[in-house]
Amino acid sequence: MSKTVLILPGDGIGPEIVAEAKKVLDAVNHQENLGIEYSHGKLGGASIDEYGVPLSDETLALARESDAILLGAVGGPKWDELDSAIRPEKGLLKIRSELELFANLRPAILYPQLADASTLKPEVVSGLDILIVRELTGGIYFGQPRGIRTLENGERQGYNTYVYAEHEIERIGRNAFEMARKRNKKVCSVDKANVLEATVLWREVMDRLSAEYPDVELSHMYVDNAAMQLVRAPKQFDVLVTGNMFGDILSDAAAMLTGSIGMLPSASLDKNGCGMYEPCHGSAPDIAGQGIANPLATILSVAMMLRYSLDMPAAAEQIETAVSKVLDQGLRTPDIYTDGMKKVSTSEMGDAVVAAL
């Protein structure tokens, strides 16, 4: 039975890295006869330029019909002055929300070949394999009321609302416990329960759930400490579960443990495992168009897609092994370059992964 993957290149380096990831997906598709077909759409600034909105109804319909979505990244200076309701990022938030992609898996794994590429000491990061499970369709990103209002004294005030309902906490918590069961059986729930009531409830629900997973060890940590611990001793963690905003911030920090933000893939899943796959990084306007972006986070996101949404784990492993091989060959985009290695462009890296399949 054929499977359809919707391709959304997005903005900035998005089209450059998606082209390489698609090259790799095409290659395994042909080699292994996977029967994957494609549809194509626009998201973010690219969609604003063509349709005036960051996510069109047509693209959303294509997304609903597809088995999985591959996204590059959205946003850039060209659209930064637009009203927040029609910015590129709104399109991304809308597709996540409309498809109920509440579970965002962000694995931070250090390839041993990149131990020197991290800004942290090799002994701090070597062997690192942690998973950040970020809630993606709730919290302060979506809470109402929100906006900018004018106070009686004429001054303007910006406001957002940090909200979590029990069912939202429970479903992401379950996801984290289930993932931990397949790993090292530890969940650290990250909150700010010393200050924010929404996270007092978060902690309570995690404790309640924990009774159903006696084989998994649950601990709690405040987010400020978690940020520090991630840099001090990241290997103490197995699975970290947290809300939308904390997860966004902590995963960028965790990216640097792996050598570069250009190495961190992600899966955003609904309750049935349908999902969108994208690198954790953004559209990197500062390097867009130069052919130097690291495509590996996007290529590794394709591997996650094959594993989680397309039920093709062997093909996923094939890609991950190929990535490891090109790193063995010493090939490095500038973001992960260290002395003695061979500097390659975005497309040379993609070609090398295809050749290593």
The site string for ligand NAD over 180-219 (x = CB under 6 A, - otherwise) reads ----------------------------------------
Q: Does 275 bind ligand NAD (CB under 6 A)?
A: no
Does position 278 bind Mn ion by CB under 5 A? no
Judged by CB under 6 A, the stretch of 21-29, 32-40, 214-222, 291-299 that binds ligand NAD is 291-299
- Binding residue for ligand IPM (CB under 6 A) from 43, 63, 92, 256? 92
Please say if 38 is a catalytic residue: no
# residues near Mn ion by CB under 5 A: 1
**Which one among 48, 63, 74, 115 touches ligand NAD, defined by CB under 6 A?**
74
Residue ranges in 298-357 that form contacts with ligand IPM under rule CB under 6 A: none
State which of residues 24, 73, 115, 274 lies at the interface with ligand NAD (CB under 6 A): 73
Under the binding rule (CB under 6 A), the answer on residue 258 touching ligand NAD is: no
Q: Which of 252, 270, 325, 351 is catalytic?
A: 252
Q: Are strands 275-277 and 68-73 parallel, antiparallel or unpaired?
A: parallel
Whether 192 is a known active-site residue: answer yes
Contact flags string 118-157 toward ligand IPM, x per CB under 6 A: ----------------------------------------
Cβ-proximal residue to ligand IPM, closest one:
89
> Could you say which residues in the range 227-256 bind ligand IPM, by CB under 6 A?
248
User: Which window, 143-151, 185-193, 197-205, 292-300, contacts ligand NAD (CB under 6 A)?
Assistant: 292-300
| 267 touches ligand IPM (CB under 6 A) | no
Q: What is the 3-state secondary structure (H, E, C) of the chain?
A: CCEEEEEEEECCCHHHHHHHHHHHHHHHHHHHCCCEEEEECCCCHHHHHHHCCCCCHHHHHHHHHCCEEEEEECCCHHHCCCCHHHCHHHHHHHHHHHCCCCEEEEEEECCHHHCCCCCCCHHHHCCCEEEEEEECCCHHHCCCCCEEEECCCCCEEEECCCCCCHHHHHHHHHHHHHHHHCCCCEEEEEECCCCCHHHHHHHHHHHHHHCCCCCCEEEEEEHHHHHHHHHHCHHHCCEEEECHHHHHHHHHHHHHHCCCHHHCCCEEECCCCCEEECCCCCCCCCCCCCCCCCCHHHHHHHHHHHHHCCCCHHHHHHHHHHHHHHHHCCEECHHHCCCCCEECCHHHHHHHHHHHC
Q: What is the number of other CB atoms lying within 10 angstroms of the CB of residue 32? A: 15
CB burial readout 238-266, b (16+ within 10 A) else e? bbbbbbbbbbbebbebbbbbbbbbbbbbb
Minimum Å gap between C-beta 217 and ligand NAD is: 31
134 binds ligand NAD (CB under 6 A): no
| 178: partner contacted, choices ligand IPM, ligand NAD, Mn ion, none (Cβ within 5-8 A by kind) | none
Candidates 141, 213, 277, 337; catalytic one? 141
Which amino acid, residue 164? Y
Residue of 34, 51, 89, 174 that binds ligand IPM (CB under 6 A): 89
* 286 carries a ligand binding annotation: yes
Asked if residue 75 binds ligand NAD (CB under 6 A), the reply is: yes
Q: Which residues are annotated as a binding site for Mg(2+)?
A: 224, 248, 252
**Catalytic sites, residue numbers:** 141, 192, 224, 248, 252
